[in-house]
Homo-oligomer: A and B are copies of this chain.
Amino acid sequence: MVFFASMQLSFREVSRPTLLVDVDKARQNIFHMARKAQRNGIRFRPHFKTPQSAMASLWYRDAGVEHITVSSLDMAAYFLEAGWTDILVAFPVNLRTANQINALASRCKLGLILESVETARHLEAQLLHPCDLWLEVDCGHGRTGLPIENEQSILQVSRELSMFRNLNFKGLITHAGHSYQARGLSEIQALHTTVKTRLIALKQRLKASGLDGLQLSYGDTPTCSGCEDFDGIDEIRPGNFVFYDWMQVEIGSCKPADVAAVVACPVVTTYPEQGKAVIHGGAVHLSKDMLKDTEGRPFFGMVGLPAEGGWTAPLPGCKVVSLSQEHGVVQLSKEVMQVLRPGDLLMVYPVHSCLTADLMGSWLGTDGLKYTMMPRP
């Protein structure tokens, strides 16, 4: 079996912390999400900030994806070069980047987001090419956007945005980032129902005020994974779902078996009496994003072992409990401790795969390919 052969080869070759991706699982995650969008008759505009890889973007093409989301203009340029031509930059317009916006907009259908007429005016004054424009609404996350309860402001800003020449006002966009606080499917679904209902009601009131044809762009990994009904929404933009991670398992977005990415880390020292080992795998590989265990102690990843054809599920009682720049300290069960030797590999399920992938810069796929990611600007 090609799959097994390439994995075994990769393991032997792994001498430094290495991101490994189960390509079958990642493609499956994409396929499921694409089908869910299709069932709902809505546009699937996945966020590419997680894989950040031109080669991996082919997986999405295979699933019929034509529209994408990115988190920076640099990332838009990278994926434009890889052949993507309908790109939404889901980060508020930065007025220092007019040249870059113009260069991109001359070559693709570029979507931008903002929340003030003043910023739109400054932007329009410098635009040489038309862009799509989305008004950001805050539906409870509290980071950016006009609060969804400020209907008058939203109506007024929407009216003004619909008057610009080079800015095609498309509708309302939101990131329900507070879904990351949810724990369990019922909390995710309750949040989804609230947000979706409010967005649709808002759209209807804008329509009643004469602003017809506006669209709704919504949908993060927890809500898109945990919910089925997106009727009334026009597009969804989940990103993390391609790999998932331990945070998503804790939220309830996925099962442990859906997590497609692990970091293979060489064991450098073992401390059997303390039930711990030190791995090459630190903050510059995994990121300092963390979760807390039931006793409130932080941890930075779950731990599995290499296995035929890939790696095991996370093992009970095994966690990355602290990180320095290059060192990871791993707490291990007695069973694992007994068999573990320096030079072995541990497979770390990251807490937050987006930040881990961004740090690693490339990964090895179980298909035997090395996937390079967008270079640092």
Contact = CB atoms under 8 A, between A and B. Distances in A.
Interface of A: 14-16, 49, 71-74, 91-97, 99-100, 114-116, 118-119, 122, 143-144, 177, 266, 268-269, 278, 280, 283-284, 287-290, 322, 324-327, 329, 342-343, 354-355, 358-362, 376-377
B358 A284 contact: yes
A97 B283 contact: no
Contacts of A354: 325
A96 B320 CA distance: 21
A116 B268 CA distance: 10
Contacts of A287: 283, 287-288
B15 A355 contact: no
Contact of A376 (B122, B177, B322, B360): B360
A278 B355 contact: no
Given A96-B343, A283-B355, 17 more contacts: A15-B94, A15-B96, A16-B73, A49-B325, A91-B280, A92-B268, A94-B268, A94-B343, A116-B269, A119-B342, A177-B324, A284-B355, A288-B289, A288-B290, A325-B355, A361-B376, A362-B376
Nearest to A278: B144
Contacts of A74: 16
A contact face: mostly helix, strand, loop, or mixed: mixed
Nearest to A136: B269
Contacts of A99: 15
A100 B266 CA distance: 15
A55 B91 CA distance: 33
17 contacts: A15-B99, A16-B97, A49-B325, A71-B325, A71-B326, A93-B268, A94-B280, A94-B343, A115-B269, A122-B342, A144-B278, A287-B287, A287-B288, A288-B288, A288-B289, A325-B355, A376-B376
Contact of A14 (B96, B283, B343, B355): B96
A266 B74 CA distance: 15
A159 to B, nearest CB: 20
Nearest to A95: B343
A326 B99 CA distance: 20
B72 A16 contact: yes
B359 A122 contact: no
A345 B27 CA distance: 40
Nearest to A89: B326
A322 B94 CA distance: 19
A284 to B, nearest CB: 5
Q: Quick one: which of A95, A266, A269 has the most chain B CB within 10 A?
A: A269
Contact of A100 (B15, B93, B358): B15
A376 B376 CA distance: 9
A48 B133 CA distance: 45
A160 to B, nearest CB: 16
A241 B15 CA distance: 30
A283 B289 CA distance: 9
Contacts of A343: 94-96, 122
Contacts of A93: 268
